[in-house]
Amino acid sequence: MLAINASNLSKGGAVQVAVWFICKMMKHSSGNVYFLSRQVSEQLEKRLVELKSTNDVYIIEMSPAKSLKTRKFLLRKETELGITKVFTIFGPSYINFKSYHIMGFADGWVTHSTLNSFFQSYRLNLYKIFLHFLSCLYKAYWVVKADRWFVETEVAKKGLSKRLGISLGNISVISNNCSDIFKTAPYPDSSRNVGPFKLLYFTADYDHKLIFKIAELINEMSKYKEDFIFNVTIEKDSPSAVKLIKSLECEAYIKHIKFLGKIDLVDAVEVVDNSDAMIHLSCLETFSATYLEAMYRNKPLIVSDFKFSRDICGNAASYIDVNDAITSSKIILNLMDNPRIQADLIEKGKQRRCYYPVADERFQQYSKYILDRNYNEL
């Protein structure tokens, strides 16, 4: 019996991928067991997925990352249900399953972070850097307990092998993509949205997303232009939001920010469509779905200039140095005022998105290992 484990996922793109994959599994494979976090189950229900119809589904209230009780419960269910294979959609699972364990992994901090990643995220807070480094070691301890791994890029594959001593032959690369709803939803009128130019930062509240850098951009952009706004998908009282507001040079600049809060997947397309461009300032990613969401919804894309972003976006993005607010602001303002640049990026995005496997192809790649009965020989 196969168990799909998403008990440890709470936010960000990992939840989106889990929802997509579980929908596919429930359609193409029966008789499986599902261990789902509350957040994943709620997103599935919003997509009108009937969780109790034909599958054994267990809703896990407390992540195994934080609860020994949850770990014991899942190990007990593994034995009681006769589970022979576990697929953890994104690890670490924080559980040493007895069964053959396949794990997806997309934590760039473990696989390919650099000292620059830590200093960008935490500046000179050595205490936070030290704690995060210990967290990476702890995650690595649990990651190596799986038997086979999926990652999203070659960089992550090489890093996982080199840093954790895992054989390259046991790591498969399956590229990320965005949810099907970004590809199938009707497109709105192609004319620009009315009002100020809307820059959308679709993100979860993580330090490496460098959300506070928006303040530096606003401080510079406001010297030349007034009719723009950054829409950010975090709560107004979140740590990053508080940090962002404190970094504004002028209290009046708050008018250039709107905190949208957490956006459910079913509402995500509308949020993207209501923007004029998408921006992504992260200093560390494996494969953010935001890049492809912008490309599929025909939005100009502005991203931080790092190797991981160039590897994925190619020439389909406008790149900025997150440490140079003056030059970055000029690049953004130029894009805002130049429909030609916007149209060019949109067209290049349409071409670039074709590089990555569509949903059915991705699912087939996963299925090759997850559903194959001869998994012990792979």
Pick from 313, 311, 316: which is nearest to 342 by CA?
Answer: 316
Q: Are residues 132 and 93 in the same domain?
A: yes
Please tell me the predicted confidence (pLDDT) of residue 193: 65
Secondary structure of residue 155 in the 3-state scheme = helix
Q: What is the DSSP letter of 109?
A: H
State residue 323's pLDDT score: 94
Q: What is residue 378's predicted lDDT score, i.e. its pLDDT?
A: 41
Confidence of residue 60 (pLDDT cuts 50, 70, 90): very high
Banded model confidence at residue 30, pLDDT cuts 50, 70, 90: confident
Residues 198 and 171 in one domain: no
Q: What is the mean pLDDT of residues 319-342?
A: 97
- pLDDT at position 361: 87
For residue 317, the SS3 value is coil
Please check whether residues 192 and 160 belong to one and the same domain: no
Judge if 141 and 40 occupy the same domain. Answer: yes
The predicted model gives 191-206 an average pLDDT of: 87
Do 323 and 230 belong together in one domain? yes
Same domain, 328 and 363: no
What's the whole-number mean pLDDT along residues 163-176?
Answer: 95
Q: Which residues of 69-87 are buried (b: 16+ CB within 10 A; e: fewer)?
A: ebbebbeeebeeeebebbb
Range of the domain at 226: 181-355
Residue 143 has pLDDT above 50, yes or no: yes
* Residue 52 confidence (pLDDT): 57
Tell me: the pLDDT tens digits for 147-167? 999 999 999 999 999 999 999
Mean pLDDT of 203-230: 95
Assess whether 341 and 362 both reside in one domain: no
Q: Report residue 148 as tokens.
A: 């086979």
Residues 241-283 pLDDT 10s? 999 999 998 888 999 999 999 998 889 999 999 999 999 999 9
Report pLDDT digits (tens) over 359-374. Answer: 788 888 888 888 775 5
- On whether both 367 and 343 belong to a single domain, the answer is no
Number of structural domains (the chain) is 2
**Cβ distance 320 to 336 under 8 Å?**
no
% of the chain exceeding 70 in pLDDT: 95
Strands (E), 202-276: 228-232, 257-259
Q: What is the CATH number of the domain that holds 331?
A: 3.40.50.2000
CA dist 74 and 327 (Å) reads: 51
Q: What is the CA radius of gyration of the chain?
A: 21
Write phi, then psi, for 87 (nearest 5 degrees): -115, 110
Pairing outcome for strands 228-232 and 197-201: parallel
Q: What is the mean pLDDT of the chain?
A: 92
Same domain? For 101 and 154 the reply is yes
Give the pLDDT of residue 62: 95
Burial 160-197 (b: 16+ CB within 10 A, else e): bbeebebeeeebbebbbbbbebbbebeeeeeeeeeebb
Residues 165 and 187 in one domain: no
pTM of the model: 0.86
Cα separation, 245 vs 251, whole angstroms: 8
Instruction: List strand residue ranges (DSSP E) for 52-93, in order.
Output: 56-60, 85-88
pLDDT at position 44 is 87
305 and 346 co-located in one domain: yes
Do residues 262 and 134 share a domain?
no
pLDDT computed for residue 265 by the predictor: 81
**Predicted local confidence at residue 377, as pLDDT:** 41
Residue in this structure with the two tokens 């962002």, named with its chain if needed = 244
Taking residues 105-134, report their average pLDDT.
94
